[in-house]
Amino acid sequence: MQVESIAEKKGTFFLPDIDQAEALGTQIQWLDINNTEAGTVLLQPKTDVPPVHFHPHQEELFYVKEGELEVFLTNKWINLKAGNSLKIPRKSLHTYRNHSIDQIVFDFTITPVVRFRKMMEEMGVYVQQGKIRGTDFRSTTYLCRVMTAFPDVTQSVKPPQFFVKCMAFINRVFFR
């Protein structure tokens, strides 16, 4: 059973290119913007994603279209309401979540282009194959495997990158 999204209720056309709603609570529709990796995210209620991380070469911008997005930046949580935006400088610790009972729709842009889209597409393949089904141990090892394959895109801070690398190693050894 598919839940009607905010975008559908408001008559906005939203066709996700990456559908991780059941596994990770997110859907992404890519946006074509020159020299940037960008998309619209539909974030399900009560969703914590991704781990605290930073982008070594890219800055990120969030723009909330519907709902209220909680963003952790450096050392504090910031609430962004519809119409608000927030720039995440390169190498800044951050994450986001939706602790509300409503879906959130937000746009993101990441510049310059590195391989963020490729990383998300690889994660989407594991979701479609049923290898990532949530945050259970096996799924987490696959998420870590993806993160370690793209160190130029993202580095985990919490959990530490060393732990992510260990989990990716466990994945390669035990979950081919």
Each residue's pLDDT tens digit in the chain (176 positions)? 344 444 454 545 678 899 999 999 999 999 988 899 999 999 999 998 899 999 999 999 999 999 999 999 999 999 999 999 999 999 999 999 999 999 999 999 999 999 999 999 999 999 999 999 998 999 999 999 999 999 999 999 999 999 999 999 999 999 97
Query: How would you classify the pairing of strands 68-73 and 59-66?
Result: unpaired
Q: In three state form, how does the secondary structure of 120-137 look?
A: HHHHHHHHHCCCCCCCCH
**Architecture of the structural domain at 16-174:** Sandwich (2.60)
Question: Residue 138: helix, strand or coil by DSSP?
Answer: helix
What does the pLDDT read at residue 2? Answer: 43
Rg (CA), the chain: 16
**Nearest residue to 24 (alpha-carbon basis) of 134, 124, 130, 105:** 134
Q: Where are the domains of the chain?
A: 16-174
**Nearest residue to 30 (alpha-carbon basis) of 98, 120, 151, 114:** 120
What does the pLDDT read at residue 176? Answer: 77
Question: Which residues are paired to 66 by β-bridges?
Answer: 105
* Structure tokens, 150: 């793209």
Helix (H) or strand (E) holding 43: strand 37-43
**Nearest residue to 30 (alpha-carbon basis) of 97, 90, 96, 116:** 116
CA atoms within 13 A on the CB side of 154: 28
Burial class (CB in 10 A: 0-12, 13-18, 19+), 45: middle
Give the Cα-Cα-Cα angle 60, 128, 93 (nearest 5 degrees).
25
